[in-house]
């Protein structure tokens, strides 16, 4: 009997930002993850997402969740993106 391997998590289909700073991330293969971003909001790249309206203003790429660049004076030189790999690495951490 051939070995059954789980299908890899791939493309993000939908992300629902919640008021408690979690993201419900739904993937192409039917997998779902509830990802808690609260700890990340303490780190410099993600601090601007403490504004709930900004946190909710996501866009999707195939394998990433993105936020628009913050307005002055909170401008950042790093675009805010959260990739599938970032999510999985943080969960396994």
pTM (whole model) above 0.85: no
15 near 26, Cβ under 8 Å? yes
User: Can you give the residue ranges of every domain in the chain?
Assistant: 12-88
Going by C-alpha positions, the residue among 47, 68, 57, 48 that lies closest to residue 23 is 57
**pLDDT tens across the length of the chain (93 residues):** 556 665 555 789 999 999 999 999 998 888 899 999 999 999 888 888 999 999 999 999 878 999 987 666 555 556 788 988 888 888 776
What pLDDT, on a 0 to 100 scale, did the predictor assign at position 33? 92
What pLDDT, on a 0 to 100 scale, did the predictor assign at position 23? 97
- Residues in CB range of 47: below 8 A, 6 or more apart: 41, 74
What pLDDT, on a 0 to 100 scale, did the predictor assign at position 21? 97
């Amino acid at each position: 009997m051939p070995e059954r391997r789980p299908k890899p998590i791939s493309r993000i289909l939908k992300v629902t930002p919640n008021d408690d700073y979690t993201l419900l991330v739904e993937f192409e293969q039917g997998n779902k993850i509830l990802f808690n971003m609260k700890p990340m909001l303490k780190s410099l790249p993600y601090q601007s997402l403490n504004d709930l309206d900004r946190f909710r203003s996501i866009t999707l790429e195939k394998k990433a969740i993105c936020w628009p660049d913050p307005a002055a004076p909170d401008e950042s030189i790093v675009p805010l993106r959260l990739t599938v790999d970032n999510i999985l690495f943080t969960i396994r951490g």
